[in-house]
Amino acid sequence: MTREDATPTETPIDPAAEGDGATETEAPAGPGFEELGISGPVLAAVKALGYETPSAIQRETIPLLLGGRDVLGTAQTGTGKTAAFALPILENLDLQQQKPQALVLAPTRELALQVAEAFEAYAAQMPGVHLLPVYGGQGYGVQLSALRRGVHIVVGTPGRIMDHLAKGTLDLSELKNLVLDEADEMLKMGFAEDVEQILAQTPEDKQVALFSATMPATIRRLAQQYLHDPEEISVKGKTTTNANITQRYLVVSYAQKVDALTRILEVENFEGMIVFVRTKNETETLAEKLRARGYSAAAINGDIAQPMRERTVGQLKDGKLDILVATDVAARGLDVERISHVVNFDIPTDTESYVHRIGRTGRAGRSGDAISFITPRERYLLKHIERATRQQPAQMALPTTEDVNSTRLTRFDDAITAALEETGRIEGFRDIIAHYVRNHDVPEADVAAALAVVAQGDTPLLLDPAKDSLSAAIAADNRPQRERTERSGGRDGARDDRGARPERRSRGDYTPYRIEVGRRHRVEPRQIVGALANEGGLGRDDFGAITIRPDFSIVELPSNLDSSVLDRLRDTRISGRLIEIQRDSGRPNRGPRHDDRGRDDRGYGDRPRRSYDSGSADRSYGDRPRRDDALRDDRGSDDRPPRKPRHKD
Which tens digit of pLDDT belongs to each residue from 378-402? 888 888 888 877 788 999 888 887 7
- Cα distance between residue 86 and residue 510, in whole Å: 45
Q: What is the pTM of this model?
A: 0.47
| Fold entry, domain 2-237 | Rossmann fold (3.40.50)
Adjacent-strand bridge partners of 177: 102, 207
The predicted pLDDT at position 504 comes to 40
Q: What is the pLDDT of residues 147-199, one digit of tens each?
A: 999 999 999 999 899 999 988 999 999 999 999 998 888 887 778 888 999 99
Query: Does residue 524 surpass a pLDDT of 70?
Result: yes
Q: What is the pLDDT of residues 8-26, one digit of tens each?
A: 333 333 333 333 333 333 3
Residue bearing the bigger pLDDT, 333 or 56: 56
Residue bearing the bigger pLDDT, 79 or 574: 574
* C-alpha count within 13 angstroms, C-beta hemisphere, residue 279: 13
Query: Can you tell me the mean pLDDT for 563-575?
Result: 82
Query: Does residue 447 surpass a pLDDT of 60?
Result: yes
Residue bearing the bigger pLDDT, 141 or 373: 373
Intervals of CATH 3.40.50.300 along the chain: 2-237, 240-399
CATH class, domain 489-619, is alpha beta
The predicted pLDDT at position 172 comes to 94
Adjacent-strand bridge partners of 325: 275, 299
Intervals of CATH 3.30.70.330 along the chain: 489-619
Q: Which residues contact 169 (CB under 8 A, 6 or more apart)?
A: 143, 144, 147
Nearest to 16, CA basis, from 40, 41, 39, 48: 48
Q: Average pLDDT over the chain, rounded to whole?
A: 76
- Cα distance between residue 453 and residue 457, in whole Å: 6
Q: Please give the CATH number for the structural domain made up of 240-399.
A: 3.40.50.300
Q: Are 343 and 264 in contact (CB under 8 A)?
A: yes
Query: Does residue 367 surpass a pLDDT of 80?
Result: yes
Query: Can you tell me the mean pLDDT for 394-421?
Result: 79
The predicted pLDDT at position 495 comes to 34
- Cα distance between residue 201 and residue 192, in whole Å: 15
Residue bearing the bigger pLDDT, 312 or 188: 312
Query: Can you tell me the mean pLDDT for 566-581?
Result: 84
Q: Say what percent of the chain tops pLDDT 70.
A: 75
- Cα distance between residue 622 and residue 609, in whole Å: 22
Residue bearing the bigger pLDDT, 286 or 504: 286
- CA 598 to chain CA centroid, Å, is 45
Adjacent-strand bridge partners of 264: none
| SS3 call for 179 | strand
The predicted pLDDT at position 105 comes to 94
Highest mean pLDDT among 439-448, 484-493, 544-553: 544-553
Q: By mean pLDDT, which of 224-238, 254-268, 351-365, 381-395 is the weakest? A: 351-365
Dihedral sign for Cα 488, 493, 499, 504, please: negative
Residue 3 parent element (H or E)? strand 2-3
- Cα distance between residue 586 and residue 601, in whole Å: 6
- Using alpha carbons, list the distances in angstroms from residue 534 to 61, 113, 623: 32, 14, 12
- Cα distance between residue 323 and residue 271, in whole Å: 9
Confidence of residue 84 (pLDDT cuts 50, 70, 90): very high
The predicted pLDDT at position 590 comes to 47
Q: Is 172 left (phi over 0), alpha (psi -120 to 50) or beta?
A: alpha
Amino acid 513 reads Y
Nearest to 238, CA basis, from 57, 90, 101: 57
- Cα distance between residue 192 and residue 186, in whole Å: 7
The predicted pLDDT at position 531 comes to 82
Query: Can you tell me the mean pLDDT for 334-348?
Result: 88
Query: Does residue 498 surpass a pLDDT of 50?
Result: no
Query: Can you tell me the mean pLDDT for 122-137?
Result: 89
Total Cβ atoms within 10 A of residue 93: 20
